[in-house]
A and B are shown apart, each in its own frame.
Chain A
Amino acid sequence: MPFESASLIAVLPELVLLITACVVLIADLYLRDDQRGLNHTLTILGLGAALGAIGLVSEPGATLAFSASFVRDPLSDVLKGVILVVNLLLFVYSREYMRERKLWVGEYHALILFATLGMLIMVSANSFLTLYLGLELLALCLYALVAFDRESTVGAEAAMKYFVLGALGSGLLLYGISMLYGASGGFGFAEVAEQVIADGMSNKVLTLGMVFVLIGVAFKFGAVPFHTWMPDVYQGAPTPIVLLISSAPKVAAFAMAVRILIQALGGLQPDWGQILIILAVLSMALGNVVAVAQTNIKRMLAYSTIAHVGFIFLGLLAGTQEGYAAAMFYTIIYALMSAGAFGVLAMLSTQGADVQELTDIKGLNDRDSWLAAMMALMMFSMAGVPPAVGFIAKLLVLDAVVSIGLTWLAVVAVAFSIIGAFYYLRVVKMIYFDQPTTELPLAISGDARVAISINGMAILLLGFFPATLLSLCENVFY
């Protein structure tokens, strides 16, 4: 099929990001150290323009482009928007942190922009080839970003572990893709889906390929038992990079799960649903129980991520439109909560301090009551305490699980959530009822303060008025 220039319109958001990344890369060559702020401005403008471009090309229904290797549909519009917004927040939160550590260089902006581009490509993938390339683009940027602080030996170690395990995960995914290709003769999701409908469960090649692909998905999410990279990476990487890894890529991984499991392998739902039950229960159990024992707050939040991934899987395994919408809602909310929590940690890690231990945030209320309130809000939301939106997200997922008759699973999920509430509330207790261990003043820039306020208000207001976002999620799957 020859190239059609109309295809370029559909990929406008991706094009805008690619151009921004290249412009930042070139502009950085000519900037003096005191002019690095221009990189930041260009990046913010580029992300904003990409958001505008999503609105521009958005329309009901799906658009295929580039010989059906790209698709723009309501799912991709919403998820791309979320990814861009979360990364906008990231850049605002991380500025002081990176500047203080002399990491405020053009590569930082360019690599994150390329990572964002990779996520957008994953979200809009319509064939296994595109999906895999998007995933690799994202992963390659993340490996480099984890080791971004060259002086840090823990950072290098974390990057090494991430790289080796990430390569293993990608390898398993590729192996699965090759089997699906062998069974269906095509890379496109539609071609695989046709073959699945024709053969169903009887085709063992499809089933084994599905298992391998599912391992790849679970690895990217960080579900137990493919979670081993997460605690070390969270602990070793610079806090803004942890923010990046823990928020937007989860949204991209969700898109990957939807594209592969639902769009391509929807016919095998009874099969992968069973596997997801095991992964979900293990993730919720291990994540919540081990998080209690952590003293390092970044490590604790890593285990908390694992537990949340278990919840996202609960929605997916339900196999109903309601469940998919609930999982999507949960993923979006999780990305916002995680961005907020790590955003606060990044803001606290200035003036020579580096928040690593739980004790570092003791008495935050005495030092900055607004920041303390925002952190407490994120923790309440993660624990699932109303009125924060985390409660609604958990409720929707549990409702989806109960409605397919898996009440025991919902009970298990609630039980582990209660265990999880302990360590979230311990953070709140430390913020409000403990004496600060340091008298260091906090210097937080105005834009970061505005961004965290918007982030916190979004968590609170979505808790009161979840209908808009929820209907967006439901539109995608109904």
Chain B
Amino acid sequence: MGFEKFLFYLFAAIALFASVMVITRRNPVHAALYLVLTFVSTAALWLLIEAEFLGIVLVLVYVGAVMVLFLFVVMMLDIDIAAMRAQFIRYLPLGLVVTGLLVVNLFLVLGSNHFGLELFAKPVGQPADYNNTAELGMQLYTTYLYPFEIAAVILLVAIIAAIRLTLRRRLDTKYQDSAQQVRVRKGADRVRLVEMPSELPQPAEYSIKTNGGESNA
């Protein structure tokens, strides 16, 4: 119990530290890397509450796929940090007031007097052979089938929207059509034989007068 508590506070502290670093770093690549650290420590927290599948998926999908893609994008963009900072300082006082009020409010409501251990008993742990993934799949495909299907439609819309907003047909693009390449036949399609009269050696001064040798017969 003691060790688990220690792990919780350790990973929670890392997650908090890393998320503060995400929004304060000057270099967007550093910010993205700190975000990775936030995700990893959050995944560890999930493992602690026995949500193993979610923890692993967080690392695989978010850290492995989404953040890597995000890093690529960040490296390609040229972001003017100074201009963003000026805005940030300008609205900082107002933001601090709102944040302060919100934090006090949330602390009063979400603190231990409403969500303390005496109100919510500690959940009993599952046995070692409990299959988190199977249970989750069971819930997804029965009780939550309808929301699950809607999520699928949302992903479809995301694809359509992204393609619509970014795909541009450029006339000057050079590309290979592999279907056409495969269809090429031996002989006529590959080699073109051109009949041409043999070249005669030209006198040097003549070639200079006519400015090149195009009109020679």
For the complex, give the distance between the alpha carbons of A129 and B153 in Å.
Answer: 15
Residues of B near A117 (CB, < 8 A) are 153
The digit string for B93-112, where 1 denotes a CB below 8 A from any CB of A, is: 00000000000011011100
The digit string for B143-177, where 1 denotes a CB below 8 A from any CB of A, is: 11111001101101110110111001000000000
**B142, A3: Cβ atoms closer than 8 Å:** yes
Asked if A49 is an interface residue, CB under 8 A from chain B, the answer is: no
Chain B, range 118-149, C-beta contacts under 8 Å to A: 141-147
Residues of A near B108 (CB, < 8 A) are 204
The digit string for A105-143, where 1 denotes a CB below 8 A from any CB of B, is: 001001100100100010000010110011011001101
**B146, A141: Cβ atoms closer than 8 Å:** no
Asked if A1 is an interface residue, CB under 8 A from chain B, the answer is: yes
Asked if B114 is an interface residue, CB under 8 A from chain A, the answer is: yes
Chain A, range 128-162, C-beta contacts under 8 Å to B: 129-130, 133-134, 136-137, 140-141, 143-144, 147-148, 150
Query: Which one of A62-70, A74-82, A226-234, A381-389 is at the interface?
Result: A62-70
Residues of B near A395 (CB, < 8 A) are none
Asked if B115 is an interface residue, CB under 8 A from chain A, the answer is: yes
Asked if A358 is an interface residue, CB under 8 A from chain B, the answer is: no
For the complex, give the distance between the alpha carbons of A127 and B144 in Å.
Answer: 11
Residues of B near A25 (CB, < 8 A) are 160
Q: Which of B109, B141, B151, B160 contacts A205 (CB 8 A)?
A: B109
For the complex, give the distance between the alpha carbons of A136 and B147 in Å.
Answer: 12
Grouping DSSP codes into helix (H, G, I), strand (E, B) and loop, the B interface class, with mixed when no group exceeds half, is helix
The digit string for A54-97, where 1 denotes a CB below 8 A from any CB of B, is: 00000000000111011000000000000000000000000000
In the complex, how many angstroms separate the beta carbon of B122 from the nearest chain A beta carbon? Answer: 16
Residues of A near B153 (CB, < 8 A) are 18, 114, 117, 137
**B161, A143: Cβ atoms closer than 8 Å:** yes
Whether A204 contacts B114 in the complex (CB less than 8 A), given A129-B144, A130-B146, comes out as yes
Residues of B near A204 (CB, < 8 A) are 108-109, 114
Q: Which of A11, A111, A136, A179 contacts B164 (CB 8 A)?
A: A111
Whether A150 contacts B168 in the complex (CB less than 8 A), given A1-B142, A117-B153, A136-B154, comes out as yes
In the complex, how many angstroms separate the beta carbon of B89 from the nearest chain A beta carbon? Answer: 20
Name A70's closest neighbour in chain B (CB-CB). Answer: B146
Asked if A225 is an interface residue, CB under 8 A from chain B, the answer is: no
For the complex, give the distance between the alpha carbons of A391 and B143 in Å.
Answer: 46
Residues of A near B154 (CB, < 8 A) are 133, 136-137, 140
In the complex, how many angstroms separate the beta carbon of B195 from the nearest chain A beta carbon? Answer: 41
**B157, A137: Cβ atoms closer than 8 Å:** yes
Whether A144 contacts B164 in the complex (CB less than 8 A), given A136-B154, A137-B154, A204-B109, comes out as yes
**B160, A107: Cβ atoms closer than 8 Å:** yes
Residues of A near B144 (CB, < 8 A) are 67, 69, 129
**A141, B161: Cβ atoms closer than 8 Å:** yes
In the complex, how many angstroms separate the beta carbon of A181 from the nearest chain B beta carbon? Answer: 12
Asked if A442 is an interface residue, CB under 8 A from chain B, the answer is: no
Name A110's closest neighbour in chain B (CB-CB). Answer: B160
Q: Give the one of B145, B147, B154, B156 with max A CB within 10 A.
A: B147
Residues of A near B168 (CB, < 8 A) are 150
Residues of A near B105 (CB, < 8 A) are 208
Name A209's closest neighbour in chain B (CB-CB). Answer: B109
The digit string for A14-28, where 1 denotes a CB below 8 A from any CB of B, is: 000010000001000
**B114, A205: Cβ atoms closer than 8 Å:** yes
In the complex, how many angstroms separate the beta carbon of B54 from the nearest chain A beta carbon? Answer: 16
Residues of A near B163 (CB, < 8 A) are 107
For the complex, give the distance between the alpha carbons of A148 and B161 in Å.
Answer: 9
Residues of B near A137 (CB, < 8 A) are 150, 153-154, 157
For the complex, give the distance between the alpha carbons of A410 and B109 in Å.
Answer: 35
In the complex, how many angstroms separate the beta carbon of B175 from the nearest chain A beta carbon? Answer: 19
Asked if A171 is an interface residue, CB under 8 A from chain B, the answer is: no
Asked if A270 is an interface residue, CB under 8 A from chain B, the answer is: no
Whether A140 contacts B150 in the complex (CB less than 8 A), given A66-B145, A148-B164, A204-B109, comes out as no
Whether A3 contacts B157 in the complex (CB less than 8 A), given A107-B164, A144-B164, comes out as no
Residues of B near A70 (CB, < 8 A) are 146
Name A183's closest neighbour in chain B (CB-CB). Answer: B114
Residues of A near B143 (CB, < 8 A) are 1, 67, 69
In the complex, how many angstroms separate the beta carbon of A402 from the nearest chain B beta carbon? Answer: 35
Asked if A352 is an interface residue, CB under 8 A from chain B, the answer is: no
Whether A140 contacts B161 in the complex (CB less than 8 A), given A117-B153, A130-B147, comes out as yes
Residues of A near B115 (CB, < 8 A) are 182, 205
**B147, A129: Cβ atoms closer than 8 Å:** yes
For the complex, give the distance between the alpha carbons of A204 and B142 in Å.
Answer: 33
In the complex, how many angstroms separate the beta carbon of A165 from the nearest chain B beta carbon? Answer: 15
Name A142's closest neighbour in chain B (CB-CB). Answer: B161
In the complex, how many angstroms separate the beta carbon of B114 from the nearest chain A beta carbon? Answer: 5
For the complex, give the distance between the alpha carbons of A161 and B160 in Å.
Answer: 20
For the complex, give the distance between the alpha carbons of A204 and B114 in Å.
Answer: 8
In the complex, how many angstroms separate the beta carbon of B41 from the nearest chain A beta carbon? Answer: 20
- Residues of A whose CB lies within 8 Å of any CB of B are 1-3, 7, 11, 18, 25, 65-67, 69-70, 107, 110-111, 114, 117, 121, 127, 129-130, 133-134, 136-137, 140-141, 143-144, 147-148, 150, 179, 182-183, 204-205, 208
Could you show 23 A-B contacts with beta carbons less than 8 Å apart? A1-B143, A18-B153, A67-B142, A69-B146, A110-B160, A111-B157, A114-B153, A130-B147, A134-B150, A136-B154, A140-B154, A140-B161, A144-B161, A144-B165, A150-B165, A150-B168, A179-B110, A182-B110, A182-B115, A204-B108, A204-B114, A205-B115, A208-B109
- Residues of B whose CB lies within 8 Å of any CB of A are 105-106, 108-110, 114-115, 141-147, 150-151, 153-154, 156-158, 160-161, 163-165, 168
Closest 8 CB pairs of A and B: A144-B161, A66-B146, A133-B150, A107-B164, A67-B143, A208-B109, A69-B146, A129-B147
Knowing that A67-B145, A67-B146, A150-B168 are A-B contacts, what are 6 other residue pairs whose CB atoms are under 8 Å apart, sorted by A's residue number? A65-B146, A69-B146, A137-B153, A204-B108, A205-B110, A205-B114
